[in-house]
Amino acid sequence: MEKNNQKPNIVPRPPVVVVVGHIDHGKSTLLDYIRKTNLTESEVGGITQNISAYEVLHKDEKGVDKEITFLDTPGHESFSKMRERGAIIADIAILVVSAEDGVKSQTIEAWRTISEMKLPSIVVINKIDKPSANIEKTKKELAANEIYLENYGGKIPYVEISAKAATGVDDLLSVILILSEMENFTGNTEEDASGFVIEADLDSKRGIQATLIIKNGSLHKGMFVVVEDAITSTRIIQNFKGVMIDTASFSAPIRLCGFDRMPKVGAAFQTFKNKKGAIKYIEERSPRPADTPRYKEEASTPFLNKEGVGGGKKIIPILLKADVSGSLEAIEKEIAKIRSESAEFKIIVKGVGPISESDIKNISNSKNAIIIGFNVKADKSALEVAQKRGISISFFDVIYKMTEWLIEQMEKLRPKIETIETTGRAKIIRAFSRTKNFQIVGGKVIEGRILLNGTVKIMRREFEIGRGKIVNLEKGKIKTSVIEEGLEFGMMIESKIEIAPGDILELFSIAQK
C-alpha cells in the first residue's frame, strides 16, 4: 500500500465505465437515470447535446465522494471502436441483461469483446420490476454462455436492478467503486495528458470539435493536442457540462474545438506543451509528401498534410469458406494485398465446406462484414438466416473476379478522409462598422484567391478566433465574386467575431477523399 510513496504523482484514477448489452435491455434508461440523479437540473441542461460522457460522484464505503466517468455514446460507438482498435478507452464494462428477455445475441457479442479485451466487468440484471422477469433463468442462461457470476460458478460481480423503478442503481455505483479499487487504476498527474477521442463533429460555428477522455496526465490551457495528424490548441477547454476550464486531468471528458482535420473516434490523443513539439510528433509519424498542394512556408498551417491516416484503420471483417484448403490459402494471400490508407480486410472466420447457419450467426453482429463462398454453396438454413438479417453472401469461382469485387468493396466501405484545404488568404487592412452579426472590412489578398459566399477562418496571431462567411465582395466599389492574389477589396462578412486590422482571413473548403 505504501509503494505509491516513491512516486508521489501517481494517484488513483476514477474509472471510465462503458455500458453494453442487447438492444432494449435498458442501457439508455440506466445511463439517463444515473445522469439525472447525480447532476443538478441546471447541470443536466448545461451538458451540450453532443458530449457523450459524464462524471458522477458516489460515496465509497468510507463515505468519501469518488468520481466515476460514464461513456454515453450513441449506439455505443466507442465500444465497437475500442474493439476495432484494441484501444482501452473504458476501464470497466457493465453488461446489461434484461431479466425478462435473458441472454440475447448482442449480449454474447458484447461479452466476447469484454473477454477478448480482458476488461473488468459487472453484470447488471435489469427490469427486475417486470412481472415476467425471471432472475434465476437469466443467471442460468448467463452460465450457459460461459458468463459465470459470483456464487454461480464464477467471479463476475453482478447487481439486480430496475433502471426504470430506480432500484439497485446505488448498489451498482458502489460495486463499480469496489471493483475499481480492486483493479487499482492509477494515473500520473505530472505527465502531459493522453487518452482517446470518443466523438468528433463539424460545428458550423466552432469548427471541428471533439470530445476526449483523458486516461493519464494533465492538460492545461495553452498546450497543443494531436490526434494522429489532426491538431488543435487548448485555447478553449470545456468540461462535460460545457463550462470553460483551464485545466483537466484523468478521467475527465473534455471538449476541444478548432481541429484542423476530423479526428477519428477511438483514436489516441497526445498533449504537448508547445506547438513545435506537437508538429514534430505529427511529422515523425507521417512525413509530409513532397507534392502537398498547400502553402509551403505557411507557419499557421504546416501541420496540414495530405496523407497519414495513421495506425488506426477501419477493419472490414470477412468470413471466408472455400472448397479446399489450397484455395483458402491462395485467397487469403490475395486479400492481404488489397489495402487502403484508411481500412483493411481481416479474415475473422475461415474454413473449408459450405457456409452454415452458425457461420452467419457468428458474423452477423460484426458491422459491414463480408461473407464469401468460394466454390462452395450455403446451407438452406444459412441462406434463410442471412436473408432475415439482411446479410448478403457473395459467391465466386474465379479468384481474380473475387479480388476485383473486393477492391470495389474496399473503396465503398473505407472511411473517407476529410481534409480542410486553404485556398486563399487575405490580410485585413481596415475594419469598419459592425453590427451584431455583420462587419465591413477592407484588405488585400496575399495568397490564392477569395470568393464571394466563401467560408473563412479568422486568424489572429496564428490562432483561429472564429469563422465567418463572405456575404458581399467589392473591388473598387464594384460588386464582384472573386478577388485574385495581390488585389485589394472591400467585403461584408457575416460573423459574431469582431475583426481587427492585422487579422488574416483564410478561405477554406472541406474535401472528402
Residues in contact with ligand GDP by the rule CB under 6 A: 23-29, 126-127, 129-130, 162-164
Nearer to ligand GDP, 389 or 401 (CB): 389
Strand order of the sheet with strand 370-374? 343-352, 314-322, 370-374, 393-396
CA separation for the pair 295, 422 (Å, rounded): 8
- The pair phi, psi for residue 404, each rounded to 5°, is -60, -45
> Smallest gap, in angstroms, from Cβ of residue 168 to ligand GDP?
9
CA separation for the pair 494, 467 (Å, rounded): 9
Do 383 and 480 meet the contact criterion of CB atoms below 8 Å apart? no
CA distances from 257 to 106, 205, 282, 314, 418 (A): 34, 10, 18, 24, 16
Nearer to ligand GDP, 72 or 192 (CB): 72
> Smallest gap, in angstroms, from Cβ of residue 18 to ligand GDP?
13
Nearer to ligand GDP, 78 or 162 (CB): 162
The dihedral sign for the CA sequence 139, 144, 150, 155: negative
> Smallest gap, in angstroms, from Cβ of residue 19 to ligand GDP?
8
> Smallest gap, in angstroms, from Cβ of residue 250 to ligand GDP?
27
> Smallest gap, in angstroms, from Cβ of residue 165 to ligand GDP?
6
User: Nearest residue by C-beta to ligand GDP?
Assistant: 26
Nearer to ligand GDP, 143 or 166 (CB): 166
Q: Which residues are bridge partners to 505 per DSSP?
A: 426, 458
CA separation for the pair 320, 375 (Å, rounded): 11
Closest by CA position to 426, among listed 486, 479, 511: 486
> Smallest gap, in angstroms, from Cβ of residue 131 to ligand GDP?
9
Nearer to ligand GDP, 109 or 228 (CB): 109
> Smallest gap, in angstroms, from Cβ of residue 279 to ligand GDP?
42
Nearer to ligand GDP, 26 or 308 (CB): 26
3-class DSSP state of 226: strand
| DSSP state string for 28-72 | HHHHHHHHHHHS-HHHHHHS-TT--EEEEEEE-TTS-EEEEEEE-
Nearer to ligand GDP, 27 or 414 (CB): 27
